[in-house]
Structure 1
Amino acid sequence: MTDANQPHLNGAYYGPSVPPPQKSYRPGRGHGRGCLCCCGCFLLKLLIGLVIILGLAVLIFWLVVRPQPVKFHVIGASLTRFDHATSDNNLRYNLALNVTVRNPNKRLGVYYDRIEARAYYEDKRFSTVTLTPFYQGHKNTTTLNPLFEGQQLVVFDGEELRGFNAEKIAGVYSIDVEFRLRIRFKLGKAKTRRIKPKVKCDLKLPLSSSNGTTRASPGVFPITKCDFDF
């Protein structure tokens, strides 16, 4: 039905078709995820490359330098006193050691910036001495002579006291000596940072006379290799 006031409209008029709405671009969505993915892949490849280069550098360094730990051996000992009095719980001792320190490296020197020797019995420390710092060249052997003497309050429980008395009868004592080190390695003119390894020596020490020295020999005091622990 036509409108009487608009005679020129003869039927329905729909006009031109309306195009579908276009998707507006919003920065930071799909494009951002692609960028992050590319950046992540690049960083991962870079990290893998750095790890490979570092691994090759360490391998080449090891093949050229072939670093080895220093070696400690107790080659002689003199234990002239080791008494424990239950009246005052004081341990009285006199222990002298001959210890060789060997640097087996062909290209590395060693700075011993601090050497602290500690003596233990039944895991109880009874003496500490500090030795003179020194530098050790390539494939070199140095002898240390720590001396532990004096007295120290050491309280044993029942089992520990029975063990001490048994070793007193046998005349051989189980004493541990531990070296606390601060060392640096030298390669050419370059020096590493300080590291703090420990060296532990488990000793079986016979009691000797006041003027006798127990040197390393079969059946008396065997040469004892110490454990080096980084």
Structure 2
Amino acid sequence: MAMARAGGGGTCCSCLCAFLVCIGVAVLIYWATYQPHRIRAAVESAELSNLTVVVRNGTADGGGSGGVVYYRLAVNVTMYNPSGRAGVHYDAIRPRLLLLLAGGASLGAANATVPGVFHQPRMSTTVVAIDFDRSGGGGVAVAGDVAAELDKEIKGSGGGGEVGFEMVIDARVRYKLGFIPIRARPKVRCPVRIPVKAERRGGGGGGGGVTGFLRSGDRCTVKY
């Protein structure tokens, strides 16, 4: 009788394994049939205002123990779903901003993202408005060499330079293939290079700032 019970347990285990394998194969076949392409993204426009660099306890030529960056950056990003068979559910979009130079120093997370959660139908485009605002309060603390390098980048040659940012978007998405949801965490990286000029009036946080506008930027890279 003990052997019969053992045999029954082995049969149940085999059936369960076979069932799981069948489910896995079905999901793979379903995925290959629908072929949901990776999302695409590009910077549609970007507006920079009140960019001010304050170097503390030193000068902007490399000395000093630290610095503060004040700025406001509004970016419109187009998110495109190229799949003709599957929609995309965006469960979370978390943008953050880095400097292209200065070792990719962080300038903080976005204050607002609209829309932040949405469904994107097949072969459709959605514009996401992202706002970074560090123009008031304490700004963003950075190392002294970062502040000095950013200050030089702003001034450029002849007083009008170009500031390079990288916006990184950590997203959580779901592809719904019939009744089967497939989750992914794509990372979107968007280079944003903005020509800047001096503002006519001083910005908040310590002196006159610079402003700039970008009508169309580079295409973003998307990795899953």
Q: What's the TM-score bracket when you normalise by the shorter of the two chains?
A: 0.5 to 0.7
Q: Percent identity?
A: 23
Match 1:225 to one of 212, 217, 220: 220
- For the pair shown, the structure with the greater C-alpha radius of gyration is 1
Give yes or no for the alignment of 1:208 onto 2:191. no
Aligned-partner Cα distance in 2 for 1:212–1:161: 19
- Equivalent position of 2:127 in the other structure: 143
Give yes or no for the alignment of 1:112 onto 2:90. yes
Give yes or no for the alignment of 1:73 onto 2:42. yes
- Equivalent position of 1:174 in the other structure: 164
Aligned-partner Cα distance in 1 for 2:70–2:38: 35
Q: With a CA cutoff of 8 Å and minimum separation of 6, indicate the structure with the bigger relative contact order.
A: 2
Aligned-partner Cα distance in 2 for 1:123–1:105: 34
Letter in 2 for 1:175: F
| Length-normalised TM-score, structure 2 | 0.67
Does the aligned pair in 2 maintain the 1:110–1:135 contact within 8 Å? yes
Cα distance 1:127–1:59, how it changes in 2: closer, same or farther (>3 A)? closer
Runs of at least 5 residues in structure 1 that lack an aligned partner in the other structure: 1-30
Give the C-alpha shift of residue 196 in structure 1: 7.1
| Length-normalised TM-score, structure 1 | 0.65
DSSP 3-state at the match of 1:163? helix
Give yes or no for the alignment of 1:53 onto 2:22. yes
Q: Report the number of matched residues.
A: 191
Cα distance 1:63–1:111, how it changes in 2: closer, same or farther (>3 A)? closer
Cα distance 1:89–1:163, how it changes in 2: closer, same or farther (>3 A)? closer
- Equivalent position of 2:78 in the other structure: 100
Does the aligned pair in 2 maintain the 1:119–1:177 contact within 8 Å? yes
Deviation readout 1:54-98 (Å, 9 max, x if unpaired): 232112211322122322222433334422212494422132323
Match 2:144 to one of 142, 158, 167: 158
DSSP 3-state at the match of 1:68? coil
Alpha carbon RMSD of aligned pairs, Å? 3.3
